[in-house]
A and B are shown apart, each in its own frame.
Chain A
Amino acid sequence: MIMRGQKRKLPLEDEEVPDRTSPNWETQRQFVFSVSLSKYQRSQELVEPSLRRSVLIANTLRQVSLGDCGSPSADEETEQPACSSSSALQVTEQESISTGDSAGGSPMGSLNYASNCASSSSPASPSSESNVPMSVEDEDEDWGSMSTDSDLELSAAISSILTALESPIDGSPQAAPRTPLRSLENLSGPSEGGVSWVKQGSRDCGVSWEQQEEEDCRVSVSSMEAMGSSYLSDLTVEDLFQDIDMSLLEGDMGVLGLMSGGGGYPAGDDLLQYLPPFSPSLSSSHPFSISLNPSHKCLPSFSTFSPLSSSTSSALSLATSSPFSGQNLVREGFELENLLEILVES
């Protein structure tokens, strides 16, 4: 039965039209995301990873995390990840979103890619502002792959807010002073730690923060400390902190914006265990979408997130005068908890 407002699905073999509500597309997206992640981490272990390959994988990861507006090509080889793993993936995406780290923030590239998504006719050259709406809409998608129609009004409102937000972010005068470590491009090698995996997701989803690297790192650490106790109970904050420090020492590969390490992926799996158990229904959570719409009061809570602390918040957040104010962060942490509870309840 076709739900009201849902797009009528064409037979998959003939499909050329982008259809983001298709479960096939969603599973393919999940698949590409996980494959890209493992590829990137594995490439760090190689003799000297190819920069071209790393950049292409990183761009694909960003695109997938943003929620692509592309067409799901009829692909027989698309694996069907288990429902629980897909929901776990979504959960970890959200986890990574809320972890709030970003040593260096998500680069312009993610915005570039969003621009590729949205204005399909435009060439690949970056143009940030106009395409945030698309990323916003896609961010909604991340939250339980809701039907796009139900979020259109929401995303329209958010997008207008976000475009207003864009200039302050881009024009942020807080050009981070370069740490000496960053210039040591020669230092490379895998960074250990599970949270590095998580950080990737957040960076993928984020809006550009190219000027905010070091502040991001410090603030993200503090925000993690605030939120750490709530759901990352089994992971000590020190571990997280250690990972961030290591990430600063990353070579060229690492500072591509996707930290990883040889041990990153397996540790990431460990991280999955620690997350609150989300029900599989998350992936097809119409109940969730319904609950989100009336509860607009949740959104203002996002607005006070510092932009760097989560990708979703970047998509949804309103203008904050001082993105790095410490006081907000604790509040944000609790608000995030509220959101997570909502997710659990659904």
Chain B
Amino acid sequence: MLSPIQVLCSDITTLSLEPEPFASYTEADIISTVEFNHTGELLATGDKGGRVVIFQREPESKTEPFSQGEYNVYSTFQSHEPEFDYLKSLEIEEKINKIRWLPQQNAAHFLLSTNDKTIKLWKVSERDKRPEGYNLKDEEGRIKDISTVTSLQVPVLKPMDLMVEVSPRRVFANAHTYHVNSISVNSDYETYMSADDLRINLWHLDITDRSFNIVDIKPVNMEDLTEVITAAEFHPHHCNLFVYSSSKGTLRLCDMREAALCDKHSKLFEEPEDPSARSFFSEIISSVSDVKFSHSGRYLLTRDYLTAKVWDLNMESKPLETYQVHDYLRSKLCSLYENDCIFDKFECAWNGSDSVIMTGAYNNFFRMFDRNTKRDVTLEASRESSKPRAVLKPRRVCAAGGKRRKDDISVDSLDFTKKILHTAWHPTENIIAIAATNNLYIFQDKLNSEMH
């Protein structure tokens, strides 16, 4: 099988784009999370305005072999509304922080979406038949005049245009004092966890009025607080294991069998600091912004500000592999601190076979690293370079003043307002979804499509 990186380097095809946005988008349109479901058929995005948009992949068409696999809008709904916390006199943002799909168990699809405080379980179902021939109502639903009814009929199900219905099935509220940053569905398909800055709660999907607190790192005296939880995830196969990352760059693997409160970790993954590379910002750039288990469950992928690291669950002392995402920013940390970019939280993703990892960067660049061949590529998600069916060409960032090839971008001309924080990889195929501010880009491995 061809190495994905080799193919992607030369042959990335744009599948579909969001409809042409207005020149100036509203802040509510900024995409804040992207997630494929377990089969890859559906792709959900959440935005700052509290809306969720679900895309569905068109089934393969024999007549047009090259148009197979396009993602089109399936459903749009308002998941969260802005709220006001009267006790604190603070607004609660409606921005969707995370979406996680539940594994499909019947015809309907279920997903969890969360903002800073409240998690909701949504049921997404299709309706393509409706009953016709009521006795007491006419076709428009108006009550019939009984005197006009002369005979009885049995209503019959007739096909109708497909309608996608979305309804909230559960609302898990009032369990988090701090901002929820992660949710993760357990492999037992019965429970899930939600993590905020200081606590992690375990929920049962059917019970909304209580949850179990399984991690609490809040110090007795808040002034002693120096570390917060930044991300958390359940192990894909072992329902008792989960991992959470901290702002100090540590990962903690916890076993729920050990104790009810998992404050004591089973394993602590931490890389010793390199004293020669120390700066004022060492701690900030070591803060882990995302953690993902590999599909196999053997490895962990973490993202901090400048690097992406792959950890082996069996080795706590240091990561297995470290990939420099944009090391050219290391000398610019001071100004990145000033303009707040140093606090950006980039996500990362595995491909289906755990051989390639992907993460975003600035200037609408995103990077992919092949773990086996050690090759990497930088690509850009932009309107100009992403016409449908176009092939993405690799980009390069050169140091300021360095030797510059044509089409290279100098570090100083990077646009730090265009950041790719959210990326997702199809669970089995080489299809990736990239969120660039208010635009969603979906790319496919061209070779993959040609084989069909």
Q: Which residues of A contact B (CB under 8 A)?
A: 16-18, 28-29, 31-32, 35, 39, 47-48, 50-53, 55-56, 58-60, 63-64, 68-78, 104-105, 107-109, 112-113, 116-117, 120-124, 185-189, 208, 210, 213, 251-252, 255-257
Contacts and interface: CB of A to CB of B under 8 A. Distances in A.
Q: Describe A's contact surface by its main secondary structure.
A: loop
Given A75-B332, A120-B273, A256-B223, A189 B89 contact: yes
Contact of B334 (A31, A122, A257): A31
B147 interface: no
A59 B226 contact: yes
Interface string B261-305: 000000000101101111111111011000000000000000000
B179 A186 contact: no
Nearest to A104: B223
B276 A16 contact: yes
Contacts of B333: 73, 75
A71 B283 contact: no
B52 interface: no
Contact of B283 (A18, A56, A251): A56
What is the predominant secondary structure among interface residues of chain B facing chain A? Answer: loop
Contact of B90 (A78, A109, A188): A188
A16 B331 CA distance: 11
B273 A123 contact: yes
A17 B93 CA distance: 44
A210 B223 contact: yes
Nearest to B282: A70
Interface stretch (B120-128, B232-240, B245-253): B245-253
Contacts, number: 156
A178 B247 CA distance: 28
B283 A105 contact: no
Contacts of A108: 224, 226
A26 to B, nearest CB: 12
Interface of B: 87-93, 116, 177-179, 197-198, 221-228, 230, 247-250, 270, 272-273, 275-284, 286-287, 330-335, 337-338, 340, 343
A30 to B, nearest CB: 11
Contacts of A77: 332, 334-335, 338
A113 B282 CA distance: 11
Contacts of A256: 222-223, 225
A16 B116 CA distance: 41
B178 A73 contact: no
A28 B280 contact: yes
Nearest to B285: A56
Contact of B223 (A48, A50, A105, A124): A105
Most chain B beta-carbon contacts within 10 A, residue among A55, A56, A74, A105: A56
26 contacts: A28-B280, A32-B280, A32-B281, A47-B93, A48-B90, A50-B343, A52-B230, A55-B226, A55-B228, A55-B247, A56-B247, A59-B284, A70-B282, A73-B279, A75-B332, A77-B335, A107-B221, A109-B225, A113-B283, A121-B275, A123-B250, A124-B249, A124-B250, A188-B90, A189-B89, A210-B223
A210 B219 CA distance: 11
A78 B334 contact: yes
A17 B228 contact: no
B223 A70 contact: no
B324 to A, nearest CB: 15
B226 A70 contact: no
A70 B247 contact: no
Contact of A109 (B116, B226, B228): B226
B334 A112 contact: no
